[in-house]
Amino acid sequence: MNLSIHRPAVIAGGIVLIFLTAWESTVHLLKFPVYLLPAPSRVFRTLFDHPLLYLEASAYTLGEALAGLLLGVLAGTILAALLTLFPGIEDGVMTLAILIKSTPLVAIAPLLTLWLGFGVLPKILITALLTFFPVLVNVLSGFQRIDRPLMDLFHSYHASRWEIFRYLRIPLALPYLFAALKISTPLALIGAVVAEWSGASNGLGHMMWLAYSNLNLPFMFAATFILAAAGMLLYQLVLWTEQRVIFWQTLSSED
């Protein structure tokens, strides 16, 4: 394998390894009690002792996070498209969007749980609410970006508003969509977990909450490790997709 391509991964892995080693030795040297700070080795052992338990909880939480993300991205993109095609409504809708955005999640989450129960629906909705705003703001500025030479060309064709939107604004907004996804993807995991804290029957957030109530810190950290790893993998997936979708940004002429 080519080392230069994987260099960032090697460096990141190295730093994580150093961090875990420092953590491990500090715990052993200072003899931290396990209910305050378990050693990483202990956390991993907990993880591998209950693989099915964690697998199920992870599937549950990741499912909520991805469904919520999808909903948030769709809602944000569609709303941004509507605001671009019908600019008259922008001010009103944006005020409303900021109002929703500024309402604290911790206030909405218990309410939604109260209304919709302990199932996945309130989690998906909360995640969607959390991820929707970065998508709306970014994609909207992508749609509204003016590329003067291309606009002139399309106007010289007497292209309709819809044709300009379809052939010009959508591709021009794609880099902005991916910028938004880089913010919203990690947020989706946070959304799902926080939503589970306010009442759930399964999931990593639910496990963390139970473990915390029982001061079972290895159990709690194990869930945290999974979340961190999942967040990193999802982020890499976004980067990988971005490079393939917006392929023209890395093309260049030879002279």
Partner 1 sequence: MKVEISDLSHTFPGKPPRPALQNLTFEVASGQFIAVIGPSGCGKTTLLRLIANLLTPSAGKITIAGLSPAQVNQAQRLAWMAQNPALLPWLNTLDNINLARRLVQPNGNPGLTAQAALERVGLAAYARAYPPTLSGGMQQRAALARILTLNAGLWLMDEPFAALDEITRENLAVELLGIWQPLKPTVLWVTHNIYEALRLADRVIALSSAPAQIIFDESIDLQRPRVESQPAFQQILARLRSALGAGSSPHWGQL
Output the smallest distance, CB 154 to partner 1, in A. 7
Contact 205, 61 (CB under 8 A): yes
Output the smallest distance, CB 182 to partner 1, in A. 20
Which residues in the 31-70 window bind partner 1 by CB under 8 A?
Answer: none
Handedness of CA 125, 183, 59, 55 (dihedral sign): negative
Could you give the CA distance from residue 71 to residue 125 in angstroms, rounded to a whole number?
8
- Residue 252 in the binding site for partner 1 (CB under 8 A): yes
Could you give the CA distance from residue 20 to residue 225 in angstroms, rounded to a whole number?
11
Furthest C-alpha separation in the chain: 75
Place of tokens 């002279």: 255
Query: Of 103 and 249, which has the nearer Cβ to partner 1?
Result: 249
- Residue 104 in the binding site for partner 1 (CB under 8 A): no
In order of 86, 87, 88, 98, 129, the CA distances from 91 in angstroms are 11, 9, 8, 11, 19
Report residue 28 as tokens.
């052993």
Here's the x/- map for partner 1, 115-154, by CB under 8 A: it reads as ---------------------------------xxx-xxx
- Residue 81 in the binding site for partner 1 (CB under 8 A): no
- Residue 159 in the binding site for partner 1 (CB under 8 A): yes
Which residues in the 168-227 window bind partner 1 by CB under 8 A?
Answer: 168, 171
Among 163, 201, 215, 241, binds partner 1 (CB under 8 A): 163
Under the rule (CB under 8 A), what is the footprint of partner 1?
Answer: 148-150, 152-159, 163, 167-168, 171, 247-249, 251-255
